[in-house]
Each structure stands twice: as C-alpha cells, then as structure tokens.
Amino acid sequence: MRSWQNRTFKYFLLIAGAVLLTVIVFILSDTYKSRQVKKSLVTYMDNLRDMIFMSTYDSLKKGNMKLFKNHLEEIGTLNDVQEFSLLDTGGTIRYSSDEALVKQHDPAVHELQSPTNVTHEGYTTYYFPVETISYCSRCHLDWKLGTINSYYKLTLSRKALDTVKATTLYSHGFTVAGGGLFLAFFYLLLTLYERKKHEEQMLLSASVFENAAEAIAITKASGLVERINDAFTRITGYERGDIVGRDIHLLDAGEINGQNYQEMREQMQTRGFWSGELWNRRKDGESIPVRLSVTPVRNIQNRTTHFISVFYDISTMKAAEQALVEMDKIKSEFISSAAHELRTPLSAMMGFTEFAREPEKFGGFSEEQIREFLDEVYDRGEALSQIIDDLLDISRIETGKDIELNLQGTSLLDLLGKAIDFHRVHQPTHVYRFVGADESDRMVCLLDRYRINQVIENLLSNAAKYSADGSEITVSCRLHEGFWEIGVSDQGIGMTPEQIEKIFDKFYRVDSTDTAVSGLGLGMSIARQIVVAHGGGINIQSEFGIGTTVTVTLPNN
C-alpha cells in the first residue's frame, strides 16, 4: 500500500511542478501583454488629440460628427468616445456628436490658452484651443492670425483601462483555478489508475498465496498465526480453525530442531531472513522434514510487524537422498564382493593350471590328480561364467530390455530331478528331498528350460549356502488352480520381515559381512524377472533362525 501511494505522490509532484511553471509563465506573459495594452490605450488617448487637431473645421461645421466619431472608433477599436464638440471662445457648444449638447455652455474654456484635460468620474475630457492660421482666414476674414478662435472638446471613458486591468486579474484567477482543477483531475485519474493497479496486484498476490504449492503462513511478530493457505492444510493437516490465532511453534517437532532454531535466530539478526531445513510435526503427530524460509515484514518505522513463513515437504527428497546413500553403500559392497567373487575362482584356476602345467615343481602328480585339477578349473570357469551371465542379465534389465525366452515343452520332473542330482554331487553336505505330484505324466509346461533351471539352481544354491551342514533341503512341485507351484524349503538362518522386503533388490545380500557366504546379490532379482517374464510369480516365507521357503508359480500352458 505505502509503495503505490509514494509512487502516486511522486508523479503528482512532478506534474504539479510542470503545471505551476506553466501557470507562472502564463501569468507573466499575460501581465506583460496587459501592460502593453494599457500603454497602447494611454498612447492612443494622448495621440488622439493630434488626430483631432488635424481634422478640418469644415468637417464639424458640415455636421459630420457621427462620421468622425466612427472614424475614431475604427482607429482605437473602442466604444468609449462619449463626446466630441466644437465650442466658441465664449464656451457655447456650436457643434457636437451629441445633438442634445448643442448651444449648452461649458465654462471650462474661459480664457483657456493651452490644451488641458480633466478627469472626473471615470472620464477624461480634453480641451484643445484652435489658433487661426492662414488656411482658416481664407473663409473667416475677421479672424486674426495667431489668435484663438474656438475650442475642441473630447470626452473619453476610462472604462477601457479599468476593463483591461480587471480582465487581467480575472484571467490570472481563471488561470490559477484552471491549473488547480487540472491538477485535481489529474491526481484523481492517477489515484484511480494506481488503485486499480494495486487492486490487480493484490488479487494476483492473493491468487499466488492461495494456489501456491508451498505452505505459506503469515504470523504476527509474536508468532500468532493470522493466515494460512490451502497447501499449509494439505501438508500439515491443520485446518484454518485449528491454527489461526495460535502460536506457529505448534508445528515444532521438538529437540531435533534445537540447532536449527539457534541458526535461524542468528541469521535473522545478521541477514534479515532465514532459509534452511527443519522438522515439523503434523496434526496427526507425524514428524516430516521441510524446507523453510522465514522473511520479516517491517513498517515505516522499520519495526517488524509480521513474519512470512514458506515451506514444503521434502520427505520424498530425503528418502531419495537416503536411497542414494544406501545405493552407494550397496555399490561399494558389490564392487568389493564382485572383486572377491572373481578373484577367488581365478586364483584357483591359475593355481590348478600351474599344477597341471609344471607338475615336476611340486613333486609330480598322477593322471587322476591332473584330471581332478582340470575338473576344478572347469568348475571355477563355470562359476565365472555364471557371474558374467548374471551381470549381463541385470544390465539388460536395467536398460529396459525384456529377458529373451526360448519357450518349449519341458518336463518339470526331469528339470527338478537333474537340478537336485547336481547339488547332491557338488554339495553332498546337505540332505535333498523331493516331494512330487502324483501326475508326473502331466508335469509338462511351456517354458525356457535354461532360464527356469537358472532359477532353480539359484534357489537350491541359496538354501545350501544359508543352511547348516546335514540340514534338509526340500523341493516340492504341485499343480494348483492352473499354476505349477515349485517350492524350495531349507532349515537355514531365515530372514526378518525387513530382509524379505529387500531380498529382490539388486546387489542386496542378507549377510554382507566379510565372513558371509559368497555371492553378488543379483540372483533373486534376476530370478524374479525370469519368473515374471514367464507369466508367473515368486513368493517368500521365512522365519528368522528357523528357515525359508521360496515358492515359484508358473502357468500350466
């Protein structure tokens, strides 16, 4: 409000100065002109005597007074010639512009020897003695040369001079009044224009306030809330009736903000505003992180009357930051684990290869031992191949590509039997038991044999890794509601609900300590992608310290 009023006053002063200057110039110009007019009139009246004197006596004698009067009016452009008369030396009016004055007597010419004038009641009367010259004696033989034979009398009104003077004053008054009216009218227009602009700005500000995505609260200097917007209610849960008139610190989440409030007070004193992060408590008691900025509003005396607080919920951003931290941690663990997983088989392969290449360095080996070395090298290479396949699969999944499937009719009994036999040979420390359906002849479905075998291998490998030696691993298969259910159960360490939620995350390992079992944490993520690509699903049931059951469902195509 104060801003647009100051702007209006500034504009008004600027225009008022221009108008005042114009009025002064006009008055000075008008005064000068009036003086020139007055001077011209006075000069005209003074010179009119000579004009009259140059007039012929015969013109008056012939009764052309009216014509002569008109002649004077044309010269002076005035209507103020009251009388023009010819008097004899005795003062009797012989001829006059006013016939009623003829033969009347005027004693003012008695013994008058030189021109004179008399001012009375707004009129000036001029008397001009007429001397006899040789031209006059042509007609008046009895007139002596150089003697006064008659008088001219001219009476002029002073109204013209007074009119000019009054007109000048009136003109000045109208000029000043006109300038004042113009300024008033201009100020009114300017005020209406600025008020309209101010109203539009207020409407715009109100619209921004109400429709802002950020929560906005206007509080008094004491901290009492005066106004909030809809986003405030949406973020905090407090309706206007819940918060207006109450202290804004109602949102304080407690001691967690201690350092933030100290920083806020310091910055408000040094910088005049504060911006940062703190925790707010919603109406339901939940604490949420927010990004807040606080700006003071000051009056003309530079005293803080209000504060404007603007904040928005950054829970999603904080969760993303935490996820990035966890991902960085997982990535670091993955790199360490991958290096270990790759180094172990490579070291073994290089060692056994060295035994087979130069057996004499180690006292010699039999052919059977050499064959065992080569088998170990092959197994280690197969492990490396599996790691590389997993990395390629996860890379393909990350780029949005579907896992390619080579579907063909496959016997689940045959597939599961071979997988169990392989683990009985390579991991003989566990007891493997198969619980199959009675409909073994119908245990055929359309699937990618290599990919499903990859899933079963991963489940059996995990069961063996996380189970104690001598424990039992059970594989089951049954047809249920149009789906084949393949289950792998162990009596291992089990998982907590939190671990179950993360088990399908890439690079996640239930136990990532240095003494943990080997693995990159990719197997379960890839397994789910393979099963989903077949139109099935995968489910985990586990109890910490007791064991885990993983169930894979595949459509009975």
Q: How far apart are CA 265 and CA 247, in angstroms?
A: 17
536 contacts 470 by C-beta, under 8 angstroms: no
The secondary structure of 136-159 as a DSSP string is GGGT-TTPPTTSEEEEEEEEEESH
Distance of CA 533 to the CA centre of its chain: 48
Tell me whether the CATH fold assigned to 2-164 matches the one assigned to 212-313.
Answer: yes
Pull the structure tokens for residue 54. Answer: 């140059």
Taking the CA of residue 203 as centre, how many other CA atoms within 13 Å lie in the half-sphere pointing to its CB? 6
Phi/psi of residue 199, nearest 5 degrees: -65, -40
Mean pLDDT score, 534-552: 91
pLDDT higher than threshold 90 for residue 260: no
What ranges in 212-280 are assigned the alpha helix state H? 230-236, 240-243, 258-270
Domain 402-555 class, CATH top level: alpha beta
Condensed to tens digits (0 to 9), the pLDDT of residues 193-212 reads 767 766 666 666 667 677 77
Q: How confident is the model at residue 516 (pLDDT cuts 50, 70, 90)?
A: very low
Token code pair at residue 526: 């890839």
Which three-class secondary structure state does DSSP give residue 377?
A: helix
Q: What is the pLDDT of residue 255?
A: 75
CA dist list (Å): 314 to 208, 220, 311: 21, 26, 9
Confidence class for position 250, pLDDT limits 50, 70, 90: confident
| Single-letter amino acid, residue 516 | A
Average pLDDT over residues 119-124: 77
Class of domain 2-164: alpha beta
CA distances from 488 to 31, 119, 491 (A): 117, 141, 11
Distances (CA, A) of 542 to 225, 436, 506: 52, 22, 20
**For position 471, what pLDDT does the model report?**
92
Using CA atoms, how far residue 548 sits from 431, 455, 482, 522, 552, in Å, is 16, 16, 25, 18, 13
User: Tokens in use for 462?
Assistant: 């995990």
Query: Among the listed ranges 176-185, 527-536, 539-548, which one has the minimum average pLDDT value?
Result: 176-185
pLDDT at position 397 is 62
pTM to 2 decimal places: 0.40
Cα–Cα distance for residue pair 513/518, rounded to 1 Å: 10
* 266-323 tens-digit pLDDT: 787 777 788 888 888 888 888 888 888 888 888 878 888 888 889 888 888 888 888 7
Question: Is the pLDDT at 5 greater than 80, yes or no?
Answer: no
- Predicted pLDDT at 154: 80
Please give the C-alpha separations between residue 63 and each of 66, 96, 150, 355, in angstroms, as whole numbers: 8, 8, 16, 165
319-396 — its CATH code?
A: 1.10.287.130
Find the distance separating the first CA and the last CA of the chain, reported in whole Å: 77
Higher pLDDT, 248 or 8: 248
Task: Give the sign of the dihedral formed by CA 450, CA 456, CA 460, CA 466.
Answer: positive
**CA torsion, ordered 43, 46, 48, 52, to nearest 10 deg:** -160
Most confident of 91-95, 367-371, 405-409: 91-95
Q: How far apart are CA 267 and CA 545, in angstroms?
A: 54
pLDDT at 189: 72
Give phi and psi for 40, each to the nearest 5.
-65, -40
Range of 50-59, 62-71, 501-510 with top mean pLDDT: 501-510
Whole-number Å distance between alpha carbons of 262 and 547: 51
Total residue count of the chain as it appears in this document = 557
pLDDT score at 474: 92
What are the strands of the beta sheet with 274-281, ordered from one edge? 225-228, 215-220, 304-313, 287-298, 274-281
475 vs 552: CA distance, rounded Å: 11
Domain boundaries, the chain: 2-164, 212-313, 319-396, 402-555
DSSP per residue, 394-463: HHHHHTTPPPP---EEEEHHHHHHHHHHHHHHH-TTSEEEEE--S-GGG-EEEE-HHHHHHHHHHHHHHH
216 Cα distance to chain centroid: 15
Mapped onto helix, strand or coil, the DSSP state of residue 81 is strand
How far is Cα 539 from Cα 47, in angstroms, rounded to an integer?
130
Q: How confident is the model at residue 235 (pLDDT cuts 50, 70, 90)?
A: confident
Pick the CATH number of 212-313 from 3.30.450.20, 3.40.50.2300, 3.60.110.10, 3.40.50.300: 3.30.450.20
What is the predicted pLDDT for the residue at 61? Answer: 42
